[in-house]
Structure 1
Amino acid sequence: MRQKITSKPKAGQLLISEPFLQDENFVRSVVLLCNHDEHGSFGLVLNKLSILKLDELLDEDCLIPLDVYVGGPVEQNTLHFIYRGERLLEDSVALMDNLWWSGDFEKLMLAINNGSLREEDVRFFIGYSGWAEGQLQEELEQQTWILCDTIITENIFDASPEELWKLILKNMGGEYQQMANYPIDPRLN
């Protein structure tokens, strides 16, 4: 059995769903925690690709057909983004070195269109994952989530959605490396 979580979650960490979690919104999910405070938590599922492209969601003609991910089950009529590299948008929130969340969408699209931000350095999400005050801490204590402090930005942007969950666990080593190979249904083990 895993050791109980004693540290508090914070923005910039990853939440890795435990191997046997059956919640259809979070099976084998990797969630980037973007905000955590006394009011609750906000995160984006990094490895759930939607069937939509960005140009299908917005009316503007100049948009490139970029992939869009399902950030979570909450407010799926909202659009969010993260990007890596230098800070391009002054109102972006730093999650860690060279990883940014949110900002002025028009400026972001201008940066993509003029080449100052490469398409592979940005991720778009519909909806988000949210937790009420104390809810995430409770789920961590119930071992629904594995908290990961060490984020390799390349994994977030370059790994396939199907492989990200396993890759993060393998990189964590020890017992987590073994979990990466668990079947979804423990009866199949």
Structure 2
Amino acid sequence: MKSLKGHLLIAAPSLLDPNFVRTVLLMLEHNEEGAAGIILNRPTDAEVTQIISQVFPDQEEFEWDKAIHLGGPVPGPLMVIHTMADLADQEILDGVYSCIDATKVQEIIRRRAEPSLIVANYAGWGPGQLEAEMEQDSWLTLPASVEHIFWSEAGDLWDGIVKQIHSARLAQLLGIRHFPADPSVN
């Protein structure tokens, strides 16, 4: 089995599970024991400022209007995806790290680190479950990049990645080495 750690898991257009419709996940773990990832494109209305008393019980005043993302349907600790090696619990891909250690999470939030994602909960699969879903064509995969993880382009992450995948497949079918993002300007 090839591990999908550090890859994106993109919901196929046909996937109708309300937890995962039009989602893009960053895979944090994938092995014989199962898989875990976080949804990248589900920001909530909650902001760091609103949860600060839970993260910093002794903190009096702290404001950061950064959105908390819903990482999936499985309850879990507050997690930060970031680019600071000194505050990493785990490297997900080159230069991108995850952290659930409370002291490190507090420091990342205190620094208002960017780029970063503050994530509550995660998505998890038991042994063989994700592979079975992939055999049913529920998911597409793509190696993750910093740009995908900390998406800042206008438009929806899922739409942007699905267009990239379709362009790459079309170029492959047609034997084209380079396919411009907007073929109409060609």
SS at match of 1:57: helix
In the alignment, the residues of structure 2 paired with residue 57 and residue 176 of structure 1 have an alpha-carbon distance, to the nearest angstrom, of 45
SS at match of 2:134: helix
Q: Do the aligned partners of residues 109 and 78 (structure 1) sit closer, same or farther apart at CA in structure 2, a change above 3 Å counting? A: closer
**Which residue number corresponds to residue 152 of structure 1?**
145
Q: Do the aligned partners of residues 81 and 32 (structure 1) sit closer, same or farther apart at CA in structure 2, a change above 3 Å counting? A: same
Unaligned runs of 5+ in 2: 172-186
**Which residue number corresponds to residue 164 of structure 2?**
171
Whether the 8 Å contact between 2:3 and 2:31 is mirrored in structure 1 is no
Deviation (angstroms), 1:58: 3.4
Matched residue count: 164
Of the three residues 31, 44, 66, the one matched with 1:50 is 44
Whether the 8 Å contact between 1:16 and 1:30 is mirrored in structure 2 is yes
SS at match of 2:77: strand
Whether the 8 Å contact between 2:79 and 2:105 is mirrored in structure 1 is no
Q: Specify the code of the residue in structure 1 equivalent to 2:141.
A: L
Aligned-pair identity (%): 29
Whether the 8 Å contact between 1:169 and 1:176 is mirrored in structure 2 is no
SS at match of 2:50: helix
Whichever of the two has the greater Rg, that structure is 2
Unaligned runs of 5+ in 1: 1-6, 178-189
Q: Specify the code of the residue in structure 2 equivalent to 1:28.
A: R
Q: Specify the code of the residue in structure 2 equivalent to 1:140.
A: M
State the TM-score, normalizing by the size of structure 2: 0.77
Whether the 8 Å contact between 1:47 and 1:69 is mirrored in structure 2 is yes
Q: Do the aligned partners of residues 128 and 163 (structure 1) sit closer, same or farther apart at CA in structure 2, a change above 3 Å counting? A: same
Q: Do the aligned partners of residues 63 and 93 (structure 1) sit closer, same or farther apart at CA in structure 2, a change above 3 Å counting? A: farther
Cα RMSD, aligned residues only = 2.4
**Which residue number corresponds to residue 91 of structure 2?**
94
Whether the 8 Å contact between 1:47 and 1:162 is mirrored in structure 2 is no
Q: Specify the code of the residue in structure 2 equivalent to 1:104.
A: D
Deviation (angstroms), 1:43: 0.4
